[in-house]
């Protein structure tokens, strides 16, 4: 998540595949992916924050100090996601939509695209080829992550949605339930409901690196600790969950 590693009830719509794969008991197969340190070997929100400092949008010392404090809170499981999103979107809000779009295109080309590993692309592709319904479920905001989801060929993005003011530009507030911790379960349920589905209709595989995602990992039929943090790796071993190392794990 954060500049570090976050929805309104608005979620990127997922077009139902022509022939969705089903589990042995007839439930529809769904594959959910966390993004930061799961599909990416970095934290897209944190990387975006560093990028905005590099291009002169933020004061290096002040931004780094505040960003590192939020990141420590995230790792400790005590992040105030609303306060963080206000902080993380401040530079974008001040620059406006045109400059923000141009900067994000450069961010994708210089930071994100070079970081996407073939192993991560192959994992998503394997589920797509089986006909699974796929979504990326991230605690990072949609401004940062929508182009990244598109780079993975994933249409359904469940991310922290940003409220917009009368001028149509972001305000720094969160619109709806943030897709963070327990909020990921709520947001996935909303996404399923948009397709006329409930939890009993689907067989869910969820890939994540973080103990912050325990609520959704525990709700999934197949939780997969992916490039897990030390805490999640230990928990996954104790519970007999699958552990998948796509690339080097983070601390």
Token pair 């599909």 in the structure block, residue: 39
Active-site residue flag, 34: yes
Which token pair is 112? 């994100």
CB 216 within 8 A of CB 32: yes
Active site residue 167: no
What whole-number distance in Å separates Cα of residue 90 and Cα of residue 172?
7
Q: Is-contact 30 132, C-beta < 8 A?
A: yes
Give start and end residues of each alpha helix (H) in the chain.
44-54, 60-75, 81-88, 90-95, 97-107, 113-115, 118-130, 142-151, 182-194, 214-219, 230-239
Which of the residues 25, 34, 59, 175 is marked catalytic? 34
Element (H, E) at 170: strand 170-174
Which residue among the candidates 36, 45, 132, 213 is catalytic per the annotation? 36
The set of catalytic residues is 34, 36
């Amino acid at each position: 998540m954060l500049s570090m590693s976050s929805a309104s009830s608005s979620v990127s719509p997922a077009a139902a595949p022509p022939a969705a794969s089903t589990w042995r008991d007839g439930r529809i197969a769904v594959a959910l992916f966390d993004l930061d340190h799961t599909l990416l070997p970095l934290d897209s929100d944190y990387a975006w924050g560093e990028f905005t400092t590099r291009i002169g949008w933020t004061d290096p010392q002040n931004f780094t100090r505040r960003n590192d404090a939020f990141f420590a809170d995230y790792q400790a499981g005590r992040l105030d996601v609303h306060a963080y999103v206000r902080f993380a979107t401040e530079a974008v809000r001040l620059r406006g939509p045109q400059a923000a779009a141009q900067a994000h295109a450069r961010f994708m080309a210089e930071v994100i695209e070079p970081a996407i590993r073939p192993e991560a692309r192959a994992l998503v592709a394997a589920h797509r080829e089986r006909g699974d319904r796929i979504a990326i479920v991230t605690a990072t905001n949609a401004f940062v992550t929508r182009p990244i989801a598109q780079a993975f060929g994933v249409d359904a993005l469940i991310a922290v949605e940003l409220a917009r003011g009368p001028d149509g530009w972001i305000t720094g507030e969160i619109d709806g339930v943030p897709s963070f911790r327990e909020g990921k379960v709520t947001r996935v349920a909303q996404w399923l409901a948009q397709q006329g589905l409930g939890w009993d209709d689907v067989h869910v595989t969820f890939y994540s690196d973080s103990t912050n995602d325990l609520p959704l990992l525990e709700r999934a039929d197949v939780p997969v600790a992916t490039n897990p943090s030390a805490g999640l790796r230990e928990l996954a071993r104790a519970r007999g969950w699958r552990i998948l190392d796509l690339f080097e794990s983070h601390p």
